[in-house]
Chains A and B, each alone.
Chain A
Amino acid sequence: MAVIHRNGLLRTLTTAGAVLAAGAVVAAGLTGADALKDRQAHMKEMGKASKAIADELKTGKADPAVIKPNADKIATNSKNIPTWFPKGSGPETGLKTKALPIIWTDPEEFQTKAHNVQVAAANLDAVADTGDMAKVGPAAKELGQACHSCHEKFQAKEKDD
């Protein structure tokens, strides 16, 4: 995984993808406010899918039929994270958001975190597909840590909500 992080080309491509997507958002007539609402909905979807997996694992006899579609959902969704934060979709929208301004001032690290989640989610998806439920737990934990690592730095702490 570490090899992939350090791959400057890949990062450049991801960043370029984000810039293109931001352009696409504007081209599609999406306002910053729309983008904000969309990403909050997408994030929540990933949260729900993660919880479904966590709950299923807690039963002690996880059903692959529950794990697989949720792992798939996160893997598919997380590929698009870089496109969810176009410029102008932050606090300046005047809407309630926990997105911190450093997302746009430190895009390099933000993209790295997004990329890490993408890798962890793809891994979880692959592990789920093998049907070996014993390996899903550790893979899900790794994904949770990757999500957390971005929230820790780029998401405001809950104070007043």
Chain B
Amino acid sequence: MTAQPAAAEATPARARIWDFPTRLLHWLLVLLIPFSWWSATHDHLPWHILSGLTILGLLCFRLLWGLFGSPTARFSRFLAGPRTIAAYVGGRLGRVVVGHNPLGGWSVAAMLLVLATQVGLGLFSVDEDELNEGPLSRFVDFDTGRAIAHWHHKVFWVLVALIGIHLIAILVYALKRRNLLGPMITGVGRLAPGAQAPPLAPAWRIAAAALAAFAITWVIAHGLRLR
């Protein structure tokens, strides 16, 4: 670490901000979302469905992790009310933030929500020639399944727009000399002065959430048939 003799305070402390599961999940989504798009538009629907179901599993895990995970991954911690957001935007927030800031938290929630919608629509999508279809398509009739497939095509672009905003925000922070990319890779980032390093969830909880997510996904992938 480089010394900054001119700085008023000591070298900022560094701590693990994002735990391992949160980072792994993030980078898997970065790989799988473009792959889902590519495989769907290049006539590889079986791969597309496999990729989509993997994303479903990741989303289930994320939901559980948002409830029971490490503090910086929890919804209750990063979903702020309108007053907190206003205070943050106006630079009047009376506390330091570790993890998502009040605005970024909602950006993450919006991306997860739209991604969940996209996956949910995919599960019920019906293909014209009945060669490939979502595992839950038997619960809808042909016309409904086709309509759902149309929405599945449209919502994808909402997801792309949100990801675009997400990338622009990261770029803007980089220009303001805040590195958001590094911590999402290594987990370690700079702590604002006075901030406490957040605790990490224990490994058993990672295993429990992963197991539960896998079980839910398995049941859905088999069309809700327990056989």
Contacts and interface: CB of A to CB of B under 8 A. Distances in A.
A51 B142 contact: yes
Nearest to A157: B41
Q: Place the interface of chain A in its size category.
A: 20 to 34
Given A54-B133, A144-B131, A47 B142 contact: yes
A147 B43 contact: no
B130 A151 contact: no
A53 B130 CA distance: 9
Contact of A145 (B131, B145, B150, B227): B131
Contacts of B145: 51
Interface of B: 43, 126, 128-131, 133, 137-138, 141-142, 145-146, 150, 153, 223, 225, 227
Nearest to A159: B153
A5 interface: no
A120 to B, nearest CB: 11
Contacts of A147: 128-131
Given A58-B138, A147-B131, 19 more contacts: A43-B128, A44-B142, A47-B129, A47-B142, A48-B142, A51-B130, A53-B130, A54-B133, A54-B138, A58-B223, A140-B130, A141-B131, A147-B128, A147-B129, A147-B130, A148-B129, A152-B43, A158-B150, A158-B153
Interface in A109-127: none
Q: Give the one of B43, B130, B133, B142 with max A CB within 10 A.
A: B130
B128 A47 contact: yes
A2 to B, nearest CB: 21
Contacts of B128: 43, 47, 147, 151
A158 B137 CA distance: 19
Interface in A54-98: 54-55, 58, 60
Contacts of B150: 158, 161
Contacts of B131: 141, 144-145, 147-148
